Amino acid sequence: MLLRRRKPRIHWARHLVPAVTALVAATLLPLSPLGTSPAHAATVRESRPVYSYDDAIRESVWVDTKLDGDADGRTDRVAVDIVRPREAARQGRKVPVIMDASPYYSCCGRGNESQTKTYDANGKPVLFPLFYDNYFVPRGYATVLVDLAGTNRSDGCVDVGGRSDIQSAKAVVDWLNGRATGYSAASGGKPVKASWSNGRTGMIGKSYDGTIANGVAATGVKGLKTIVPIGAISSWYDYYFAKGAALFGSGPDGLAYRVESDAAHGRCAAVQKRLVDGAPRSGDWTGLWSARDYVPDARKVRASVFAVHGMQDLNVRTKHLGQWWNALADAGVERKIWLSQAGHVDPFDFRRGTWVKTLHRWFDHYLLGIDNGIERTPMADIERAPDQWSTDRVWPPSGTRQTTLRPAPGTTPGVGVLGTERARPGATAAFTDDPRLSESDWAADIDRPTAAKAGFSTPPLTKDLRLSGSGTVTVTATPSTSSAHLSAVLVDLGPDTIRDYGGAGEGIVTLDDRTCWGSSTAGDSACFKVTAADTEAVEQTVFSRGWADLGHHADARKGRPLTPGKPYTITLDLAATDHVVPAGHRLGLIIAGTDAGLLEPPTTTPRLTLDLNRTSARLPLAGSLRTEGAAPGAAPSPSPSSERLRGIRTPHIESPLPLR
């Protein structure tokens, strides 16, 4: 499915920014070197670090969510730690908020250095993880870090993307806008109002945190002006399953137990049971998943969206990004995107200087109303090689079209070809599921017949071929057993140097030196370890993949036992990507069974026979397929390689924990 580029419906910035700029400059930046005169106010282009971080107000508030998730007879309160400029408070000036709502502030930590919140002897917050507070508080923002219900110092229970999780953060946005009640203590205490807030809130976060930002934006809550989801989930079903095929060995109950506070373990057994009962390992869709699918509610989103994702993220796969991006496009939401070659990595750790500068401009525009032109810059930044980036005015780029490519037998038995011509009727390819082998093993053997996969490739390309967006692979397969899983992967066959997304750092290596981003205190440093690209020279690169349970062929939401010997047709959704297969390389398609380390095997060990005449791939190509020695689209058989191709080993994800 091609990713969409529909024009945004949010036009307020174009018409209101000049007026808002003058107002903000006059009321929020009086200490700026630009001065306070109207003439200077109209020329403000960025917020300046004119407020004291050391003297900033640090406080905690507990916000009532109006839910009783732990069924203890009183509504839950979530802990909110706040740091904000004292000078603004003294002068009665209200400030906007940068908010990160997370379950990880005590159990697991945030960022590449796994920072957790710390408090002094009186419970006053000292360390605010990540750099947002250090950098933005001196520039006139408040930073607000929210413990999701059931975590750290909050009441309630973790429900993994459900109503309690989302309400934990939405209630805080409401409180910042005067629509919810905050208290000075976890129980009892005095009511506290956010009189210092102007209500304009931006949510940011990686993984689970960014997922909460997506979910809160999908409620349409007023006051949420922008979100910056990084490697974020858009539908929790698609985190745990791919069209019925299990992607992890456990469900959301395991993640909930991992992040819950010790106190929550004792009171949240009923919620844990609901997570188990509502998420059967059959892969069938249930009401639990409907309540955790934010995509249908993209039409409610009022906020602008700056999405960041690693194209080789095998934890939160880019399927989440692709379907969310399309839904936002259909809703006319104003959007921007960064796509890296890394895995599940924060942009602070793969493009630090540019990231901080861009995020600064983004928040200045959408939270302070400064007319800095960020909304008129190219929509997409894409990493083409380690630390080498290109831009596109819109994404996917103009001229991208869905093109159908088809597999067919080659001249060498067991080694197929990929082109535009349909295979003759009766042409087949077969493989036997081997759960020990992964996509890397299949790709390394694409030019030789092996029992565990069916591989197809084009001849060498005469022109660069760009694939930009989401594709699909439709397969007609006859199983030998009553259950079967399918994998489909796209491979760039040719030498390259890429980020080692299968390594421990998923494409980065952490060094000992530090760089500083903002102001520090004794308990909260603005200095973080430097990172660099972790690269690997390879001979082939898997760049998009998709999975499915063949038993879900008739209904993606409910599986059925298969009849051995009967053909079934199913469409696998390929994860969104933006990859250029260079001239001289070949494009490969592999269809196989269990993708070891990424997909749970079926209950049987099937042999599957593909009907190649009824199998095809629809891919988002920017341009046409041109290969050596043939008319455009034709695909003679390549010569089998005499050596195994070397590529990245697929990382094994031991547990479903979208952390870092």
**How do residues 67-99 score in pLDDT, each as one tens digit?**
999 999 999 999 999 999 999 999 999 999 999
More confident: 515 or 5: 515
Active site annotation includes 207:
yes
With contact defined as beta carbons under 8 Å apart, do 216 and 643 qualify?
Answer: no
Region 241-251 average pLDDT: 93
- 632: pLDDT confidence band, cut at 50, 70 and 90? very low
Q: How far is CA 346 from CA 226, 514, 659, in A?
A: 18, 16, 11
Average pLDDT of the chain, as a whole number: 91
| Whole-number Å distance between alpha carbons of 287 and 297 | 16
Bridge partners, 642 (sequence order) = none
| Whole-number Å distance between alpha carbons of 87 and 104 | 31
Region 641-656 average pLDDT: 55
Supply the pLDDT for residue 248. Answer: 85
| Whole-number Å distance between alpha carbons of 303 and 489 | 34
Supply the pLDDT for residue 624. Answer: 78
What are 590-620's pLDDT values in tens digits? 999 999 999 999 999 999 999 999 999 999 9
The residue among 133, 534, 532 whose CA lies nearest residue 349 is 532
- 551: pLDDT confidence band, cut at 50, 70 and 90? very high
Write the DSSP symbol of residue 377: S
Q: pLDDT over 90 for what percent of the chain?
A: 87
Catalytic residue among 64, 238, 313, 492: 313
Structure tokens at 465: 């071929």
- 44: pLDDT confidence band, cut at 50, 70 and 90? low
| Whole-number Å distance between alpha carbons of 407 and 615 | 7
Domains along the sequence of the chain with CATH: 57-332 (3.40.50.1820), 401-622 (2.60.120.260)
- 31: pLDDT confidence band, cut at 50, 70 and 90? very low
Supply the pLDDT for residue 627. Answer: 78
Looking at the predicted structure, is the pLDDT value of residue 101 above 80?
A: yes
Structure tokens at 217: 């934006």
Task: Write down the pTM of the prediction.
Answer: 0.92
Supply the pLDDT for residue 250. Answer: 86
Region 131-157 average pLDDT: 98
Looking at the predicted structure, is the pLDDT value of residue 503 above 80?
A: yes
| Whole-number Å distance between alpha carbons of 442 and 445 | 5
More confident: 134 or 36: 134
- 631: pLDDT confidence band, cut at 50, 70 and 90? very low
User: What backbone torsions phi and psi does residue 377 show, to the nearest 5 degrees?
Assistant: -80, 165
Supply the pLDDT for residue 579. Answer: 98
Region 55-63 average pLDDT: 98
Catalytic residue among 81, 154, 293, 344: 344
Looking at the predicted structure, is the pLDDT value of residue 428 above 60?
A: yes
Supply the pLDDT for residue 651. Answer: 61
Supply the pLDDT for residue 633. Answer: 42
What are 114-131's pLDDT values in tens digits? 999 999 999 999 999 999
Catalytic residue among 60, 102, 207, 616: 207
Supply the pLDDT for residue 249. Answer: 80
Looking at the predicted structure, is the pLDDT value of residue 261 above 60?
A: yes
Contacts of 77 (CB under 8 A, 6+ apart): 62, 63, 64, 65, 154, 155, 183, 186, 187
Active site annotation includes 344:
yes
More confident: 390 or 44: 390
Supply the pLDDT for residue 136. Answer: 98
Q: Is the dihedral of CA 551, 542, 451, 315 positive or negative?
A: negative
What are 158-170's pLDDT values in tens digits? 999 999 999 999 9
